[in-house]
């Protein structure tokens, strides 16, 4: 989506290394979601951020929302092979959630043992 | 609680055939959506609904119809399948200020 850009498109890291994925909107964000997807499978919800400056963590994954920059980052600490997959950011752009979120094109993460 | 269910999981169609992808949710969510996922393109919104009897077009609605007669069900109809509609289709449901809950997907191939 051009309204929601993810970077990088793909990432290959050595097990144990940290990494960051970014998601940037060209318009005002009303909610930002991170999902993980294994190839050929459905989407697993990771985190939802709604307020500027909000930061949430789950196990070794931390997500932050910078409202001024209209950007969110997803940081994985000490990556493991189980972190491999496609990470998608989704956002409510222009209005609050009404089932019409916009999604980025995804970041494919490979973790080498 | 089954969450969001989709049927079928896999489908192969010939060009010109029609079919309906089924989606149901048991969480009493008011919002339901259909997305398609193509390689390297994330999820693109096809149609969405904010309640029973109310539907609207998303980013890529051409060639698809939807209806929402009940809160629980939101079927997606392909009127005359084309090879460009080969994709993975995801149905999702949500309430205000919650994340979208996704179904397992339907992998459609149009020959």
Task: Read off the pLDDT of each residue in B6-22 and give the average, rounded to a whole number.
Answer: 97
CA-CA distance, B100 to A29, in Å (whole number)? 16
CA-CA distance, B30 to B33, in Å (whole number)? 10
- Res. B6: pLDDT tops 80: yes
CB-CB: which of A42, A96, A104 is closest to B102? A42
Question: Which H/E stretch holds residue B36?
Answer: strand B31-37
Gyration radius of chain A over CA positions: 13
Position B39 confidence tier, pLDDT thresholds 50, 70, 90: confident
CB B99 within 8 A of CB B2: no
Scan residues 93-112 of A and list those with Cβ closer than 8 Å to B. 96-106
For residue B104, the model assigns a pLDDT of 95
CA-CA distance, A74 to A78, in Å (whole number)? 13
Q: Which residue has the tokens 């409510």?
A: A92
CB B54 within 8 A of CB B68: yes
Give pLDDT < 70 ranges for chain A.
1, 94-97
Q: Is A81 helix (H, G, I), strand (E, B) or coil?
A: helix
For A13, counting Cβ atoms within 10 Å of its Cβ (0-12 exposed, 13-18 middle, 19+ buried), the class is middle
Question: Would an 8 Å CB–CB cutoff place B94 in contact with chain A?
Answer: yes
pLDDT in tens, B52-110: 999 999 999 999 999 999 999 999 999 999 999 999 999 999 988 788 999 999 999 99
Question: Would an 8 Å CB–CB cutoff place B39 in contact with chain A?
Answer: no
Contacts of A99 in chain B (CB under 8 A): 31-33, 48-50, 92-94, 100
Task: Read off the pLDDT of each residue in B26-48 and give the average, rounded to a whole number.
Answer: 93
Q: Is A77 helix (H, G, I), strand (E, B) or coil?
A: coil
Contacts of A45 in chain B (CB under 8 A): 99, 101
């Amino acid at each position: 989506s051009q309204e929601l850009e993810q970077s990088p498109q793909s990432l290959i890291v050595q097990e144990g290394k940290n990494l960051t994925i970014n998601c940037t909107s060209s318009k005002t964000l009303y909610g930002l979601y991170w999902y993980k997807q294994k190839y050929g499978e459905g989407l697993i919800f990771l985190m939802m951020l709604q307020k500027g400056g909000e930061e949430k963590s789950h196990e070794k994954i931390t997500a932050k929302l910078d409202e001024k920059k209209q950007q969110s980052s997803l940081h994985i600490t000490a990556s493991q092979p189980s972190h491999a997959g496609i990470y998608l950011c989704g956002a409510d752009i222009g209005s609050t959630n009404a089932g019409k979120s916009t999604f980025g094109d995804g970041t494919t993460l490979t973790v080498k043992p | 609680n089954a969450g969001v269910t989709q049927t079928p999981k896999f489908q192969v169609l010939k060009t010109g055939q029609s079919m309906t992808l089924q989606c149901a949710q048991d969480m009493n969510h008011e919002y339901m959506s259909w997305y398609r996922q193509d390689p390297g393109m994330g999820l693109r919104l096809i149609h969405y609904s904010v309640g029973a009897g109310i539907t609207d077009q998303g980013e890529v609605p051409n060639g698809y119809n939807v209806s929402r007669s009940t809160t629980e069900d939101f079927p997606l109809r392909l009127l005359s399948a084309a090879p460009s509609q080969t994709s993975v289709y995801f149905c999702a449901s949500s309430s205000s200020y919650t994340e979208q809950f996704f179904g397992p997907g339907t992998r459609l191939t149009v020959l």
